[in-house]
Amino acid sequence: MTFASATLPELGGWESRSNEGAELVLALTDTPTGAFRPNIVLTSTPSTAPIEAASSVSIAAILTDHPGAQIIAVDLWAEQAIDGRMITASYPAGDLQIVILRWIWATGLRHVHLTASVATHQLLACQPTLSYIATALELTGEMSATQVNTDVAPKLDLTASAAAGQPLELLERVPSFQPYTPPSLEISVAAQGALLAARTTGALARRSPAQQELRDSGLLEGHSRRLSPFALQVVTHWDSGIQLEASTTRSGITRSLRSWTRGESTLFAYSTAPQNEMDAGGFAIEMRPVGQTVDLILRFLGVGPMWSRAMEPDRVSVSVLQERLAADALTLPSTPAGTNDAFGRFWNQEWTELRVRSVLSSMRAINTPSAGLLNVGAPESVSGDAVFPITTMPSSAFYTHLLALFETALRG
């Protein structure tokens, strides 16, 4: 299939659709009635601006065009004659969360966009096909040297640009446009206990000390002791929902986001406490559609786009890692021997430890403001020493790992 800006391979199971302004629109044919139809759109616009400008403009457009959107990742894409970008983002649409995979190229005359849209629960199944078409795409038409307009050029990440040997747009400010907002409905541990005790009768015990708190929170019907429909839903999720727990630890403070998924919805409970201490003060709760579960957890964890660099070593002793996690800016231990520049920069930035756990599996990583994301594996023994395997993890890979963890938990 050849169009003005690109040639794409033929795809079985996808049908062409008409859409004004697009060179090509493909939609998946075998989609259940009422479900979101995964689609692929090819567009191009005249521009002489370089790829870092095209990427920055696209990031801004996604955040502007889709309220509640979050930019998950920006990765280098080098499968064509000219280097491009791959942007991963998502946004809420009704009860769904739609994932955008957008590949961008700057030919010197045009910006070419290949954009795929799928619901979160469709991403892992569709990803091989989408990656195939983006890899097989061949740019057509004339090409020319791009031109930098200093009046509108994006700010560059100078450190990442020097390491990559090419201009890379600054990404570290993107997370500030997509902060996590905790739930507003607060509930005490005592009130939770009263609700759970009432799950069989649907009403609080007489003279329950939590009665006024639950009434003020709208979890009781009027002036009665009966649980409201929302309270009954909350109790059902606590009782039989599939549970995940995510946490972040930084500067001695641990924030937790527990979730219980049942049917078409997920209950979230947010709390914060000093590290290694249980918060007996309570938590805040909210209910979300199940399709938005993973992306809300990702927003809570604060994972966003950043430039990743290969780090050395690929293992670090358990004692060294624990010492670094416990350190602050004044007690920062020396960088371990045998590390490269990328790891040295990572070591000296502020660390946030990320954990996600289900009954079946878990994830652990360390996040930094601008030096990348490091995956921490299970401890193992090497020559009698306890070590953690560590690997650089692009935020796009972190997202798909999180999706896989959630889907595995749902399947049980």
* Nearest C-alpha neighbor of 397 from the set 375, 379, 377, 366: 375
Over residues 152-168, the pLDDT tens digits come to 899 999 999 999 999 99
What is the structure's pLDDT at 276? 65
What secondary structure letter does DSSP report for 264?
T
- How many angstroms separate the CA atoms of 261 and 288, rounded? 9
Q: Which residues, in sequence order, are bridge partners of residue 352?
A: 367
Question: What kind and span of H or E run contains 323?
Answer: helix 318-326
- How many angstroms separate the CA atoms of 148 and 140, rounded? 22
Over residues 310-333, the pLDDT tens digits come to 999 899 999 999 999 999 878 899
- How many angstroms separate the CA atoms of 412 and 405, rounded? 11
pLDDT at 280 over 80: no
Q: Is the peptide bond before 313 cis (omega within 30 degrees of 0)?
A: yes
- How many angstroms separate the CA atoms of 403 and 397, rounded? 10
- How many angstroms separate the CA atoms of 363 and 408, rounded? 13
**Secondary structure class of 176 (helix, strand, coil):** helix
pLDDT at 393 over 60: yes
pLDDT at 172 over 80: yes
Token code pair at residue 282? 């309570």
Give the percent of the chain with pLDDT over 90: 85
- How many angstroms separate the CA atoms of 255 and 370, rounded? 21
Mean pLDDT of 109-114: 97
- How many angstroms separate the CA atoms of 75 and 396, rounded? 8
CB of 79 closer than 8 Å to CB of 135? yes
Over residues 219-259, the pLDDT tens digits come to 999 999 999 999 999 999 999 999 999 999 998 899 999 99
What is the structure's pLDDT at 279? 57
What is the structure's pLDDT at 162? 95
Give the percent of the chain with pLDDT over 70: 99
Dihedral of the CA atoms 335, 338, 341, 345 (nearest 10)? -20
pLDDT band at 383 (very low <50, low <70, confident <90, very high): confident
Task: Give first-to-last CA distance, the chain, whole Å.
Answer: 42
What is the structure's pLDDT at 252? 87
pLDDT band at 278 (very low <50, low <70, confident <90, very high): low
Over residues 37-71, the pLDDT tens digits come to 999 999 999 999 999 999 999 999 999 999 999 99
- How many angstroms separate the CA atoms of 247 and 389, rounded? 21
DSSP string, 106-170: E-SSEEEEEEEEEEHHHHHHHHHHHHHHHHH-EE-S--------TTTPPPB-HHHHHHHTS--B-
Q: Which residues, in sequence order, are bridge partners of residue 286?
A: 268
Average confidence score pLDDT of the chain: 94
pLDDT band at 2 (very low <50, low <70, confident <90, very high): confident
- How many angstroms separate the CA atoms of 206 and 47, rounded? 71
* Nearest C-alpha neighbor of 58 from the set 93, 38, 86, 96: 86
Q: Which residues, in sequence order, are bridge partners of residue 43?
A: 113
pLDDT at 275 over 80: no
* Nearest C-alpha neighbor of 40 from the set 131, 141, 140, 109: 131
Per 3-state DSSP, the chain is made up of helix, strand and coil in percentages (nearest 5) of 30, 35, 40
Mean pLDDT of 344-357: 95
- Spatial neighbors of 259 by CB under 8 A, at least 6 apart, are 241, 243, 244, 245, 246, 266, 267, 268, 269, 293, 297
* Antiparallel, parallel or unpaired: β 70-77 and 265-274: unpaired
What is the structure's pLDDT at 412? 84
pLDDT at 277 over 70: no
- Spatial neighbors of 204 by CB under 8 A, at least 6 apart, are 194, 197, 198, 210, 211, 214, 220, 225, 227
What is the structure's pLDDT at 330? 84
Q: Which residues, in sequence order, are bridge partners of residue 376?
A: 390
> Where is average pLDDT lowest: 28-32, 40-44, 126-130, 271-275?
271-275
What secondary structure letter does DSSP report for 252?
T
CA 338, 340, 341, 347 dihedral sign is negative
Distances (CA, A) of 139 to 16, 35, 49, 136, 170: 20, 32, 17, 10, 26
Token code pair at residue 25? 């629109």
